[in-house]
Structure 1
Amino acid sequence: MFARFTEGARRAVVKAGISALDAGRSALDADLLLLGVAEVRPFSLSSFTASAADVRARVDVGDTRSLLATFGIDLDAVHRRTRTGLDAPGLWHLRRSRLRPLRVTLYGPLGEIPLAMHARKAIEVAMWWRPGPVTGEGLLWGLLADHANGAAKILRDVGVDHSALVREVRMPARRSA
């Protein structure tokens, strides 16, 4: 499935998967997919004003950093030393199960994690939204298209103008002559 993704869109999904694994979640949810998009920013949308820190504050990513900090352990430093290069998008694969077609799983060197229903729907909308590669805008459109996944609420809570963002994402890409 990743064959149609741009490098930035792949990095956003991989970032979300790593966050889900780090948080000990049983599935990659839409909120973590939004966090991955906010951290990687695989687009140049002026109306996407949410910072990664703002989105992270509204997403449950576990509290391992503060717990380990009480013991004098810097989790980010540990990750830098032990995970160098393991977040490279080329090492990760997104696959649909042949036996269970509604099950999509992200596989990589740090583990595997199935996509929860809303994250899978966002990926599928991004894949079928426009012909061509799946871009960061497509991932964002997939997240915004499903009001039940909570992504729009998170973006509104951090001050993003939802209507302006939808208008900007829906605009067709300009082609240069």
Structure 2
Amino acid sequence: MFDRFTDPARRAVMRAGILTMNAGRTSLATDLLLLGLAEEHPMPHLPDPAALRPHIDTGRTRELLAAIGIDVEEVRRRTRHGLDDPRLWRLERSRVAFLRVTLSGPMGVLPLQMHARKAIEVALWKPGPVTGERLLWGLLADAANGSAAILREAGADVRELVRVAGIPVRRATSK
């Protein structure tokens, strides 16, 4: 599935997988897909990752280790060097269970939660390359996944993000 992804979009999904595993989660959700996108593919009107983090559960490892003087990011840089190599990651649909999509890499295999899978499916829907804007489209296409709420909480203008991502908006018609 990654063959249609641009390099920044692929890195965003890979980063979301790393964030998921760092948080101790067992499946990739849309909140970390959104954070991965913000970290790897900044775009106009998308909040800075630092503004998004307080609204996303990324685990408490950083805080707990910082309390005893350990910089968890430095430890990760030293021990997980090379994990962001795109050749080591795969995004695949199960041949048996068609709705199951997994992200696999050097740290393990993560199934995508339903809403994250739907975001990827929307990004892949149109022909052509999957860009960061298309991933944003996938995240904002389903109001039930919480991405728009996280963006609003972080101070983003969601209407402007919809415009930047090129998401078609259905206009109300008068009778």
TM-score by length of 2: 0.91
Matching of residues 116-155 of structure 1 within 5 Å: 116-128=113-125, 130-155=126-151
Structure 1 unmatched runs, 5+: 173-177
Q: Deviations over 1:126-162 (max 9, x none)?
A: 001x321110000000000000000001111112111
Distance 1:75 1:57 in 2: 17
The Cα shift of 1:16 comes to: 0.3
Q: Which of the numbers 156, 169, 173 marks the counterpart of 2:165?
A: 169
Q: Between Structure 1 and Structure 2, how many residues are aligned?
A: 168
Matched, 1:8 2:8: yes
Query: Aligned Cα RMSD in Å?
Result: 1.4
Distance 2:164 2:72 in 1: 37
Counterpart amino acid of 1:2? Answer: F
Give the match for residue 85 of structure 1: 82
Counterpart amino acid of 2:57? Answer: D
Give the match for residue 45 of structure 2: 47
Matched, 1:64 2:35: no
Distance 2:162 2:67 in 1: 42
The Cα shift of 1:168 comes to: 2.1
TM-score by length of 1: 0.90
Distance 1:156 1:15 in 2: 22
The Cα shift of 1:167 comes to: 1.7
The Cα shift of 1:163 comes to: 1.2
Instruction: Give the fraction of aligned pairs with identical amino acids, expressed as a percent.
Output: 61
Q: Deviations over 1:66-95 (max 9, x none)?
A: 212233322111111111111122210001
